[in-house]
Structure formats: C-alpha cells, structure tokens
A and B are shown apart, each in its own frame.
Chain A
Amino acid sequence: MSEPVPITINVNGRKRSAMVEPRLLLVHFLRESLNLTGTHVGCDTSQCGACTVLLDGSSAKSCTVFAVQADGSEVQTIEGLADGDELHPLQDGFWEEHGLQCGYCTPGMIMSAVNLLEENPAPSEAEIREGISGNLCRCTGYQHIVNAIQHAAERMAQS
C-alpha cells in the first residue's frame, strides 16, 4: 500500500480535506468519505456516466478520476444543485416531464445536462441526445429525459 496523501477539494461550496490513498477514485471519495451517495457507480468501464459530476465546471466521470487529481479543484455533485428547497430547473424538469423511472442514471444524467445547457442554452433535440450520449439509461428509452432537458432549457431562458 502506498502512503495516504493530503487533499483538499471544494465540494458543493464546502472545503473538504482528507488523507487519501492515491488509488482512491473521486467517486469513492464522494460516496464513502463524504457520504454523498447521490453520485452513483454503474459500470467498470467508464461508459455509463452514472458517476458524472462537475469538476471545475465541466462534466467528468468521477470513476475515471483519482481523488488526488482533483486536489485543489471544485466539484459539484447532484446534492449541490438545489438552492435550499428550490429545485434546480433541471431537477424540476425531470420531475415535471417524468424523466426517470428507477432513477439510477438520473444524478449523472442531470449533471451532464447542466454541462450541456451551460455550453448551449438552447440545444436542438439532436444536440441534447449527443450531449447525454455519455450517460446510459436502462429504463426510459431517453424520450422523457430529452423532454425534461427541453423543459429546463425553456424555463432557464425565461428567467
């Protein structure tokens, strides 16, 4: 075993310091050290996107980043999205448009959608589908997820 090293990561606006083994993946740091279990693990091959978070503002698969790589960075997870009791427009969109069934893919899907709408506030349906192509859903067939993201984009454009 290699020696634990100190890291400090700003997670959802709060500085979190810990001693971690270099091989600890960011997703395990979030889930197991910080108990932020909204970020899921759905595969072993970096393909499903269930673990997606924002790392310094851009979407990243937290199962394919070591926690030590994120030392000094900012991470936003699904838990950091709502403003108190007020849901983020994307969370609201998934609620209103029935964008989930089992919900396993949902946190990662929403974080990818946050990244997408940041870069492209008014995406076409094709651009939405491309934007979430790194996130797999085994339940919905994606149509309601696309609707949910469109709903959020419209709401965000109004406000």
Chain B
Amino acid sequence: MIPTAFEYRRAGSVAEALSLLQEGGPEAKLLAGGHSLIPMMKQRLAEPGLLIDIGGLDELRGIQEDGGEIAIGAAVTHAEIAASDLLRDQAPIVAETAANIGDAQVRNRGTIGGSLAHADPGADLPAVMVALDATIALLGPNGERKVQAEDFFQDILTVDLAEDEIVTGVCFQACRSAAYAKLEQRASKFALVGVAAALSLDGGTCSSARVAVTGASSHAQRLSGVEGALAGASLPDGAGDAASGAGDALDFVNEDLHGSEEYRRAMTAVFARRAIEAAAGRG
C-alpha cells in the first residue's frame, strides 16, 4: 500500500533533528533505517505528518572502545555491527546477534537505535542490551539522559523515550562470555523466543549472570529466576537445571499463529539453556 502523505526533512545534525522534532510535535517521527517504520506506514499503522531523516548523520555513527567500555552510535547499521572486528573480539554476542537479524538487505539499512527505540517484541538486540546491562543515551531539549536497558523497555513497542528525545547511542562493558540463542520465525527471522546470557565465570563455576528474554513476552526483560539459579552453578553441566523454570516464571507470554503460549514458555527454557551453554563455552 501507499503511505499517507507526509513532509520529509533530512536533518543535517542531531541539533537540527531535535529542533525539528520540537517544531513537528506529535506529528513528527524520526526515520533511521526505515525498516520498522516504513512497513508500518505502508500498512497505514503509522501516519506521521513529518519524517525527520537521521539515517545519514555522522554524529550518530561509529563503534568505539575506551577503557573496556564499548559505545555504538544509534545510526550504526546491523551490517556494520556484524562486520565490526572490535565487537567480534570484545563483545561477540553483539556482532553475532546483528549478523542474524532478518536478511542482508534488512541489515544493510536497519540501525541499532531504530531497533531499540521501536522495541518490537520479537527484536533481538533489546535482549542482548539488557543482558549486557547496557546504558542507552538519550538527548532531548533539556540535555542528555541515560537509562539502563532493563528500565528502557517497558511494554510492547513502548520505551522510556519522550516524543522530543533522540536515542544517540548505547554503551556497555566489553564481555566475551555472553551469547544469544533464538528460535526464529522462519520468514522474518524475528525471535519467537530469544535469550541472551552474560556470565561471570570463575573456572567452570558461574559467579553471577544476567539473562534476558525477547520474543516470548511483551518486551525484553530479565529472567531473574535463572540468574539466581546460575549463581554458584557449575557450567556447562548445570545450564539445563538453571534454565528449567525460565518460561514458567514469565507473567505474560505472547501467543500467535507462530506459537502458542505453552510452546513459547517451553522454548524459553530450551533457548535459555542453549544461550548459557554457548556463553559458558566462551568462558
């Protein structure tokens, strides 16, 4: 279908994008890679009156490391993340997850900022960011604000982001012993269930862990029961036991033609175990 008419402005800087957002009010929407927004506009599920294109802004690009902290700009594409030697080496979970998003064309256009701001219940990167305890950087008319990923994702397609704010990037500590495992919807590759596990390991023993799920529920969230069970567990042998209750502990579980609630609960435990085993294998 053809989207409803709108006005298009290409922002020359983040500052200009912010002032255009203020001017445009509720009618305005940011456009990054367009791979969530344009499909919605074609279905007329979104009908913004003003699109502010931030996709090409250099200020929002780049992947950097400083003293063990890695920062990724909001407009970095999934393909750039997947190809980054820095990420493959210091946070392989992020590069691998991006490499398995959608297909080559989607990865060439879609951005990390768009994925996090949109917060599709089946999006992959939100779970990874929650597991890595990432900080999301936002810029608004009153300056910068930082939000932990676990607080940023609030509900289906709902995040802690005001209408006049921009996600500028995300940062997290380098971490090798982390992995993501997903049961994908075969046509789109969105996660029916995806689990990210980041472990602190002391030899074969897990001293602490952060584990997050996407796809199963309304939004990416921690699996605190699994995290608790992992403390002191010997891995990889203890992964199955630690993960066994993962699905049952969720308050709300999605249900659609791709998978019933019962199936998703069962798969949450299975993919939690696989993510933990893979992360432990990196130890």
**Contact flag A131-B104 (CB < 8 Å), given A64-B38, A66-B34:** yes
Q: Mask for A43-79, Cβ within 8 A of B = 1, else 0?
A: 0111101001001001111011110110100000000
Q: A22-B51, A44-B1, A69-B55 are in contact. Are A133 and B8 (CB under 8 A)?
A: no
Whether A116 is near chain B, meaning CB under 8 Å from some CB there, is yes
Do A58 and B34 form a contact, CB below 8 Å, given A22-B6, A133-B103? Answer: no
Chain B residue contacts of A61, Cβ below 8 A:
105-106, 109
Least CB separation from B3: chain A residue: A23
Question: Does residue B88 face the partner (Cβ distance < 8 Å to A)?
Answer: no
Q: A23-B3, A45-B39, A60-B109 are in contact. Are A68 and B8 (CB under 8 A)?
A: yes
Interchain CB contact under 8 A, B8 and A22? yes
When the two chains form their complex, are residues B109 and A65 in contact, meaning their CB atoms are under 8 A apart? Answer: yes
Q: In the complex, which residue of chain B has the Cβ closest to the Cβ of A28? A: B2
Measured CA separation A32–B102 after assembly (Å)? 28
B79 in contact (CB, < 8 A):
yes
Closest chain A CB from B162 CB (angstroms): 25
Which residues of B, 1-50, contact A by the 8 Å Cβ criterion?
A: 1-8, 10, 31, 34-35, 38-39, 41-43
Q: What residues of B have a CB within 8 angstroms of the CB of A37 in the complex?
A: none
Q: Is A35 an interface residue (CB 8 A)?
A: no
| Chain B residues, Cβ within 8 Å of A65 | 34, 38, 109
- Complex interface bits, A102-143 against B, C-beta within 8 A gives 1, otherwise 0: 000000000010011000000000000001011100000000
B-facing mask of A65-101, CB < 8 A → 1, else 0? 1101101000000000000000000000000000000
Q: Say yes or no: is A159 at the interface (Cβ < 8 Å to chain B).
A: no
- For the complex, is B187 an interface residue (Cβ under 8 Å from A)? yes
A64 pairs with B109, CB closer than 8 A: yes
The residue of chain A having its C-beta at the shortest distance from the C-beta of B106 within the complex is A134
A55 to B41, CA, bound (A): 21
Partner of B8, one of A5, A46, A64: A5
Total interface residues on A, CB under 8 Å, equals 33
The smallest beta-carbon distance between B56 and chain A, in angstroms, is 9
A69–B104 alpha-carbon span in the complex (Å): 19
Q: Write the chain B residue with the least CB distance to A61.
A: B105
Q: Given the complex, which residues of A lie within 8 Å of B43, measured CB to CB?
A: 44
* Whole-angstrom distance between the Cβ of B235 and the nearest chain A Cβ: 29
Interface residue B142 (Cβ < 8 Å from any Cβ of A): no
Question: Which residues of chain B come closer than 8 Å to A60, judged between CB atoms?
Answer: 105, 108-109
A46 with B187: CB separation less than 8 A: no
A157 in the interface (beta carbon within 8 A) = no
> Across the interface, which residues of B come within 8 angstroms of A66, CB to CB?
8, 34, 38, 51
Per-residue CB contact flags for chain B residues 206-245 toward chain A (1 = under 8 Å, else 0) read 0000000000000000000000000000000000000000
* B96: interface (CB < 8 Å): no
- Determine the distance from Cα of A65 to Cα of B106 in the docked complex, in whole angstroms: 11
Chain B residues, Cβ within 8 Å of A49: 103, 105
Residues of chain A whose beta carbon lies under 8 Å from any beta carbon of chain B: 1-3, 5, 21-23, 25, 44-47, 49, 52, 55, 58-61, 63-66, 68-69, 71, 112, 115-116, 131, 133-135
Other than the given A1-B5, A23-B3, 18 more pairs (CB < 8 A) read A22-B5, A23-B5, A23-B41, A44-B1, A44-B42, A45-B39, A46-B38, A60-B105, A65-B38, A66-B8, A66-B34, A68-B53, A69-B53, A115-B104, A116-B104, A131-B104, A133-B104, A134-B104
**CB pairs A–B below 8 angstroms (9 shown):** A22-B7, A23-B3, A44-B1, A46-B38, A60-B105, A64-B35, A112-B104, A133-B104, A134-B104
Closest 3 CB pairs of A and B: A134-B103, A22-B8, A58-B108
B interface list, Cβ under 8 A from A:
1-8, 10, 31, 34-35, 38-39, 41-43, 51, 53, 55, 79, 102-106, 108-109, 187-189
